[in-house]
Amino acid sequence: MSLVIVGTAAFDAIETPFGKTDKILGGAVVYAGLSASYLYNDVKLISVVGGDFDDNLDLLKSKNLDVSGIEVEREGKSFFWSGRYHTDMNSRDTLATDLNVLADFDPKIPESYQDCEYLLLGNLTPIIQLTVLDRLKHTPKLVVLDTMNYWMDIAMDDLKVVLQRVDVLTINDSEARQLSGEYSLVKAANKILGMGPRYLIIKKGEHGSLLFGDGQVFSAPALPLADVFDPTGAGDTFAGGFIGYLAKVGSINFANIKNAIIYGAALASFCVEAFGTERLQNLTDLEITNRIKEFVNLARFDISE
Amino acid sequence: MSLVIVGTAAFDAIETPFGKTDKILGGAVVYAGLSASYLYNDVKLISVVGGDFDDNLDLLKSKNLDVSGIEVEREGKSFFWSGRYHTDMNSRDTLATDLNVLADFDPKIPESYQDCEYLLLGNLTPIIQLTVLDRLKHTPKLVVLDTMNYWMDIAMDDLKVVLQRVDVLTINDSEARQLSGEYSLVKAANKILGMGPRYLIIKKGEHGSLLFGDGQVFSAPALPLADVFDPTGAGDTFAGGFIGYLAKVGSINFANIKNAIIYGAALASFCVEAFGTERLQNLTDLEITNRIKEFVNLARFDISE
């Protein structure tokens, strides 16, 4: 049974205080797919790219990712995004957004994808996320939705329709406040859980994340890093690792969702160590295992009353 | 062997989005003393107050706190602070600071305090913190220093002298950046640990705290609260609970320091639930035990490779 990921495949040009890149491989489906590939062996991608993307499809295939759902528009150009990060690495300016082939994206679901059991709706316009849900013949066992403030600004009604059909929502703290109209994250979580999702993950960047659901709360740490080189794709990488872990263990409960968050955070902590997908392209199982151990040691304490 | 706490004893007038108070009991030594009183039974306070403070000394005595080191200047008035919190509760404007008797504070150490084994230097001018250290005949087993950006602005050289004589420093994230000149908290911690303290605790408010020392890192969660009613004194309460726990267990190592942070955070989580010291005046052991359990559940995950 497969894990299907839908999202953008793109070229990014990135400036950080540490340097800048030319057009490099990016996009939610790429980051999430690479991340999930380390945890699950049946990962299928849905996206659209231009004729300029060819070599990168080979890269994805080499990581055992199924790209038959990535439509190639030979005459078109791939989605392009360019941004510049501020010194704090938590805020950024978008310098360019060229939708190109993404402007008319109509997601195709290959017949071979209809065994989808785990679905990650990566950050995209809510209408496309809905279309993917509608075109799957069976409701997946788990639907995870990633979105952002941009869609809350321009497509909140559509987004609320999608929310009713997902199991897990991942957003950051300011987006949780925007979506709920509540400043307190506890109150925000209660409202958002009333909108559809069974679980809410609020990402707080360098401060880790909070999980709400099943009447419980979990606070996951972030690994303190000496340098955050490039935060691009960290959220997508988190989401890919998160759902990849759940696909691997095959059982959805609060304990497994907590562990999935740790795996997602661990993979995201690699992502930010280099520009773009560079660090995600050649991780070893040992590196991942050791990083997970760092998270365990980071958060462990033992109080016996 | 006693735990000695030095700091301000004050009246505060506080405005938050939830309401405002007249002059109520406040000050670092009061918050830290009340907090420590729940964990250790030999806690001695050092401060100075005016003739207007009388009833409050009785309150402190009723919590088994030794107030013989709190000098009462009958003709003077107690230190007064007034502030207004912004909606996010993380920033505030100071409306008034009347030093009153604090202006000429010359800390006296009663002979009965010379058995001091645990010393908390609460937030105060570094020169007074140094004076207390100098007037103790024996170096305490553990010295914890709390300070703030104000002293970094106007007395950095003095502060750096104090830092060379303390074991644990507690500051917030922006203060860690100011003290070290480093944005990355990992780099900031490495620099600050080179200034004297063996352990550094970086407090991040609603995001918990980080402990650095012994070549290790620990990330402590904060309890997500539906309402933060009044954050005044939360840092002092944290410090008091932290050192109170270590005095109780009597052994200083990384594992105990981690637990001490959880106790400090738990007591601070009560502090912010009401105005001023109200919630700290009548906690029960059961309430504290249950709150500690909430922290354990909040942070626990179990990954078996």
Give the pLDDT confidence of B204-251 residue by residue, as tens digits: 999 999 999 999 999 999 999 998 889 999 999 999 999 999 999 999
Separation between Cα atoms, residue A44 and residue A119, nearest integer Å: 10
Other Cβ atoms less than 10 A from the Cβ of B298: the count is: 21
Is-contact B244 B40, C-beta < 8 A? yes
pLDDT classification of A19: cutoffs 50, 70, 90: confident
A185 chain-B contacts, CB cut-off 8 A = 206, 224
Residue B140 domain-assigned (yes or no): yes
> Count of CB contacts below 8 A, A vs B?
92
Residue A305 domain-assigned (yes or no): no
Report CB contact under 8 Å: A226, B301. Answer: no
pLDDT for residue A287: 98
Residue A294 domain-assigned (yes or no): yes
CB neighbours of A126 closer than 8 A, spacing ≥ 6?
A147, A151, A155, A158, A159, A161, A162
Nearest CA in chain A to B254: A301
User: Pick from A185, A207, A255: which is nearest to B302 by CB?
Assistant: A255
- A255-298 pLDDT, tens digit per residue, is 999 999 999 999 999 999 999 999 999 999 999 999 999 999 99
Other Cβ atoms less than 10 A from the Cβ of B22: the count is: 8
Q: How many helices (H) and strands (E) does chain A have?
A: 10, 14
pLDDT for residue A77: 97
Is-contact B195 B166, C-beta < 8 A? no
B305 chain-A contacts, CB cut-off 8 A = 289, 292
Report the number of distinct structural domains present in chain B. Answer: 1
Taking CA atoms, B126 is separated from A141, B145, B147, B150, B273, in Å, by: 60, 10, 8, 11, 30
Give the percent of chain B with pLDDT over 70: 100
pLDDT for residue B19: 87
pLDDT for residue A54: 85
Residue A15 domain-assigned (yes or no): yes
B299 chain-A contacts, CB cut-off 8 A = 218-219, 221, 299, 301
Residue A33 domain-assigned (yes or no): yes
Structure tokens at B208: 């918990």
Separation between Cα atoms, residue B279 and residue B288, nearest integer Å: 12
Residue B257 domain-assigned (yes or no): yes
Prediction pTM value: 0.95
- Tell me the sheet residues that pair with B26: B10
B176 chain-A contacts, CB cut-off 8 A = none
Residue in A16, A219, A267 to test binding to B, most B beta-carbons within 10 Å: A219
Interface residue A18 vs chain B (CB under 8 A):
no
Host domain of residue B32:
2-299
Report CB contact under 8 Å: B298, A219. Answer: yes
pLDDT for residue B305: 53
CATH code of the domain covering residue B279: 3.40.1190.20
Residue A252 domain-assigned (yes or no): yes
Could you say which residues from 168 to 227 on chain A have a Cβ atom under 8 Å away from some Cβ of chain B?
183-187, 189, 204, 206-208, 210, 216-222, 224-227
Residue in A177, A249, A303, A304 to test binding to B, most B beta-carbons within 10 Å: A303
Q: Å from A205 to nearest chain B CA?
A: 11
- Tell me the sheet residues that pair with A48: A71
Residue with tokens 């869609």: A151
pLDDT for residue B54: 85
Residue A169 domain-assigned (yes or no): yes
